[in-house]
Amino acid sequence: MTTQMERPTATVPPTRMPTLAQRDARAGRVLLAPTLVVVLLVVVVPIVWTVVLSFQDLRLIDLRRRGLWGGFTLENLAGVFTSRGFYGALGTTLLYSVVGTVTSIGIGLVAALALRRRFRGRTVARAFMLLPYVAPVVAVTFVWQTMLNPQFGIVNEIGTNVFGWADPVAFLTQRSADVSVFGLEFSVPVALLTVMAFEAWRYFPFAFLFLTARLAAVPGELEEAARVDGATPTQRFRHVIWPQLLPVIALLAVLRFIFTFNEFDDIYLLTGGGAGTQVVSVRVYELLTARGDVGAASAQALVLSLVLVVLLAIYFRFWGRKVEQS
Amino acid sequence: MTAFNRDVVETRVFGVLRWVVIAVLVLATAFPFYYMIVLSLRSLDEVVLHPGALWPAEFDVSTYLSVLLPEDDGGQGFLVFLRNSFVIAVLTVVVTLLAAIPGAYAISRLQFRGRRQVSALFLAVYLFPAILLAVPLFVFFARIGLRGSLAGLLIVYVAQTVPISIYMLRNYFETVPVSLEEAAAIDGCSRFQIIRRVSLPLAMPAVVSNALYVFMIAWNEFLFALLFLAEDRDRWTVSLGLSQLAGSIEIPTTVLMAGSVLLTLPIVVLFFFAERLLVEGLTSGAEKG
């Protein structure tokens, strides 16, 4: 930036001073360079590398001896589509993501509406609402595990003593249970429902946060006018508040779906992927560490990302325009 | 006569329902943390005998001692884990801010080719699952011998936090009036002086809230710590230590509960201390819809 400016103009034919815009452009690139390098190195290169790895026959044990290139095969990708485990995991991932997204946003919305009007202690209540989201995932999963423990967990203790359950429920290790409601027998996936409940509990604060911020910006006159016109609370919500919140909800739905779809920590820590809760990311981890199959792990991770990209493309194709209109 | 029209009924119903919802939500969010503290103060025998008790019969703080003490003295060595977590979280904050402040400024203020593409690239980072990045990073760090080192983990954390930092700070830089910067430029300040003397001091609240947020992410992170540090107990972070020991049957749950209180406490204290800053930093832009 300074070299051109300091060049002695007397000896060299006068070069044009860079304009302000040119200097700004150069400063911009310089300022951004460190970030760009780190992100390229640790995010973009690995993504590209995953593609290469997923076409290689590579095991963890021969990592040090092998070159970075070569040993190409199509078996990893073929393996993804022929193994039954993958489709099961993908189905679980989808179900988990949809239910997790909908419930966390739903509870977040209810919470934001309930805490909208000022009351004594609202600040504290709000802070409590955010606790599950900010607390370390390892600590909260551990507490949930302990609370749900069949031997000495408080949930089973209350369930058997107060609600009269016949036996303690192994919430995190039981794949399914038969439940009868009004004489109808059906089986519920216990562990999967439990991790979904955890997902809703841990991430509703995220939706709550954004919806609270948006609610605060809804002009009071709008609601006042509706009230004067005789609109009841549900009508005011349906016709005044809801349209205002819709764009934020659409954005939250996309963000939460992406995050839940890619989620690893919660399920790995709660169930280890057992009892019918194996999502694709946990499967990838197992392939990598337990089986040491780098190629297969990469291929599955790659397919997972592609599925997400396709789903997002469909979403924006159908909903993007509607959201913009509202 | 008017007592039963729809408006009155709805207003009454929601008036009551609102308090029910608030009570349920506060209970649901606060109880697990209360349970965590209570359990960390009880002895295991008592917990097994009276699982439903919500108050310790006697306060037993020996759990904290036994979780903190080094392994040689019969403890679990959480003091070392706490130090590791602290060091890596602070370093992540420092390096992230050093990269993100200039980067955010550049994106918010300076016109240059590729500016928009870079913003899009940064957001795309969060589209990909961490597990996808984990495989090649695992391979790469294993090859260059950085696996198991805090330095390798630090680089990964910075890459994970810089994009969100830039996003948060950029929103704030955009609220700093351009006229202030122009005044400084007329007074003869260079671009870098403007950033240091004008923009940065004004953006300090955002920088602080961002620093706290990054600290939180680094402190809470689990997957990469698990992949990179699992083999060497001396390098474990608190999160990793707790998760690795949680499966063991020899260590009483109450002792590990004390460990999870120690893991959670710094974050909760930080959070209550700076809640408003954090919330504003995260949701700025949401008001515009």
Spell out which residues of chain B touch residue A310, defining contact as CB-CB under 8 Å: none
Note whether B105 and B18 are same-domain residues: no
Note whether B110 and B28 are same-domain residues: no
The tokens for B276 are 């408003």
Note whether B101 and B51 are same-domain residues: no
Note whether B120 and B50 are same-domain residues: no
Tokens 């006018």 locate to: A225
A183: left (phi over 0), alpha (psi -120 to 50) or beta: left
Distance CA A180, CA A185 (A): 4
The number of folded domains in chain B is: 2
pLDDT at B171: 81
Note whether B124 and B238 are same-domain residues: yes
Final residue of a domain: which of B60, B90, B106?
Answer: B60
pLDDT at B106: 87
Note whether B13 and B107 are same-domain residues: no
- Give me the amino acid identity at B43: S
pLDDT at B288: 45
Direct distance between the N- and C-terminal alpha carbons of chain A, in angstroms, rounded to an integer: 47
Which of B:230-289 have CB within 8 Å of A?
A: 238-240, 242-243, 246, 253, 256-257, 260-261, 263-264, 267-268, 271-272, 275, 279, 282-283, 286-289
- Predicted confidence band at A5 (pLDDT cuts at 50, 70, 90)? very low
Residue % of chain B over a pLDDT of 70: 94
Note whether B183 and B271 are same-domain residues: yes
Tokens 């369930």 locate to: A159
Distance CA B276, CA A85 (A): 45
In a domain, residue B66? The reply is no
A69 to chain B, closest Cα gap in Å? 13
- Give me the amino acid identity at A111: A
What ipTM was estimated for this complex? 0.88
Max avg pLDDT among A87-91, A179-183, B139-143, B187-191: A87-91
Note whether B134 and B209 are same-domain residues: yes
> By mean pLDDT, which of A237-246, A289-298, B33-42 is the weakest?
A289-298
Distance CA A77, CA A56 (A): 10
Note whether B166 and B220 are same-domain residues: yes
Distance CA B147, CA B211 (A): 26
In a domain, residue A103? The reply is yes
Which is nearest to A269 in space by CA: B239, B130, B39, B262?
Answer: B239
The tokens for A55 are 């076409």
Angle of helix B115-124 versus helix B78-109 axis, rounded to 10: 150
Distance CA B152, CA B141 (A): 7
Distance CA A140, CA A132 (A): 8
CA–CA–CA angle A306, A63, A80 (5° rounding): 30
Virtual torsion, Cα B263, B235, B226, B69, nearest 10 deg: -40
In a domain, residue A24? The reply is no
In a domain, residue B1? The reply is no
Do A24 and B191 count as a contact with CB atoms less than 8 A apart?
A: yes
Which is nearest to B239 in space by CA: A277, A205, A141?
Answer: A141
SS3 B80: helix
Note whether B37 and B114 are same-domain residues: no
pLDDT at A195: 95
Distance CA B221, CA A31 (A): 28
- Predicted confidence band at A322 (pLDDT cuts at 50, 70, 90)? low
- Its domain, for residue A102, covers 84-325
Spell out which residues of chain B touch residue A269, defining contact as CB-CB under 8 Å: 222, 243
Distance CA A143, CA A136 (A): 11
> By mean pLDDT, which of A6-20, A42-56, A124-138, B145-159 is the weakest?
A6-20
Helices and strands: H and E segment counts in chain A: 15, 2
The tokens for B84 are 């590791």
In a domain, residue B288? The reply is no
pTM, 2 dp? 0.87
In a domain, residue A70? The reply is no
Final residue of a domain: which of B41, B60, B79?
Answer: B60
CA–CA–CA angle A238, A239, A243 (5° rounding): 90
- Give me the amino acid identity at B267: I
The tokens for B178 are 């351009």
pLDDT of B116 strictly over 90: no
In a domain, residue A209? The reply is yes
CA–CA–CA angle A22, A28, A31 (5° rounding): 140
**What's the CATH code of the domain at A142?**
1.10.3720.10
In a domain, residue B127? The reply is yes
In a domain, residue A8? The reply is no
In a domain, residue A72? The reply is no
pLDDT at B51: 78
The tokens for B286 are 């949401």
In a domain, residue B176? The reply is yes
Rounded average pLDDT over A126-146? 93
**What's the CATH code of the domain at B106?**
1.10.3720.10
Q: Does A57 touch chain B (CB under 8 A)?
A: no
pLDDT at A325: 52
Higher pLDDT: A94 or B60? It is A94
Final residue of a domain: which of B60, B85, B103?
Answer: B60
- Its domain, for residue B38, covers 6-60
In a domain, residue B109? The reply is yes
Which is nearest to A145 in space by CA: B241, B247, B34?
Answer: B247
In a domain, residue A28? The reply is no
In a domain, residue A77? The reply is no
Positive/negative CA dihedral, A183, A187, A191, A192: negative
In a domain, residue B289? The reply is no
Note whether B18 and B94 are same-domain residues: no
| pLDDT digits 0-9 by tens, B269-282 | 888 877 777 676 66
Note whether B169 and B77 are same-domain residues: yes
The number of folded domains in chain A is: 1
